[in-house]
Amino acid sequence: MSDSEEFSQQQENQEEEIPNIEEEEDDDIMQEEKTQKPLQEEKLVIDQNEKDKTSATYIFYDEDHTLGNALRYVLVKRKDVEFCGYTIPHPSENRLNLRLQTSSKNSNEVLKESLDSLAGLCDVLNDKFVDALKKHKKNQRKH
């Protein structure tokens, strides 16, 4: 047997002995993802001083500028809100921090009322969109 044939034979034997590590790692990772609990189970965490109920920081997980800007807009239109602002600490963090300060009312109540108001606004927007879509489809059939 020549040197090149012997080398080829050794390579084939080594390939048979070496398991595919990448496939095993992928399987392990997939299994871990299935068994791991979410790191953050709460959708909203409230950081509020026990003595002063008129201000708080709200941490929304798995939310972004879509909720932050809309909620800030609804809150600042209220007369009882002195300050409202939000930040996304870092693009890689799936977190929105909302700071709210009211003149006298409990900030938790103000936030809840504003979220309800925003949900109502979304319902109206959805209804108008569906109506416009139906009208558009009806006009398309005529032409």
Residue-wise pLDDT for 83-130, tens only, equals 999 999 999 999 999 999 999 999 999 999 999 999 999 999 999 999
Full residue range of the structural domain in which residue 55 is found: 44-142
pLDDT in tens, 30-75: 555 444 444 557 899 999 999 999 999 999 999 999 999 999 999 9
Look at residue 97 and tell me if it is in a domain: yes
How many residues would you count in the chain? Answer: 143
Q: How many domains does the chain have?
A: 1
- DSSP E strands in 43-138: the ranges are 44-48, 55-61, 81-87, 95-102
Look at residue 68 and tell me if it is in a domain: yes
pLDDT in tens, 5-38: 665 666 565 555 555 555 555 565 555 544 444 4
**Residue 78: pLDDT band by 50, 70, 90 thresholds?**
very high
